[in-house]
Amino acid sequence: MLGLDKTEYTSGPSQVGRSVQEPSRADLFDDLAQMLTRQVVVYTAVKHAAMAERLDLPMDDFRALKLVIECETLATGQLAHMLGISSGGATALINRLEQRGLVVRDRHPLDRRIIVIRPEAQAREAVLEVVQSVSDELAIMSVRYDTPELETARRFMADCVRMFKQDTQRWLEGRPERHGN
């Protein structure tokens, strides 16, 4: 159904005695780019839908909560923009999260006209609890790799996250600021 049998990914060092040609650097990059930009995104979205269901949150509310937790503080307008919803839709969403004790509204420290959203400790704990199963699965999978391989994978992923954060910051800074959002 999901086409999981169509693509075989191997990991770890090559098996001794195999006559399989090692992939080129370009092939490795293409595979990594496809996995990060398409496959990981799709299956992460599915995993997040399951997590939202476990927390009894609508998917948009869960997406918003994840953004607020990751960013620590988000202006209402930034949250609306990141979710692709109107400022009124963002306000209604924030109201629901606030009523459940997951976020708190505050004023921006430098511009008191801007409302910012911060996660409550309860939100972090709830999301951490549902994410734990993913961490457990990754821990089991990681035994196939030695420490230098894990260090390389971590360094690569950290660079990817840094790039995505910089892109997000540029995207948010490139749009006109609206006060009150």
pLDDT tens, 12-54?
444 445 456 888 989 988 888 888 888 888 888 888 899 899 8
Q: What is the pLDDT of residue 19?
A: 54
Number of domains in the chain: 2
Q: What percent of the chain has pLDDT over 90?
A: 45
Residue 30 and residue 81 in contact, taking contact as beta carbons nearer than 8 Å: no
For the chain, the average pLDDT equals 84
Among 79, 47, 75, smallest CA distance to 61 is for 79
- In-domain check, residue 73: yes
* Rounded (5°) CA angle 61-173-155: 75
Same domain for 155 and 112: no
Domain containing 164 equals 143-173
pTM beyond 0.75: no
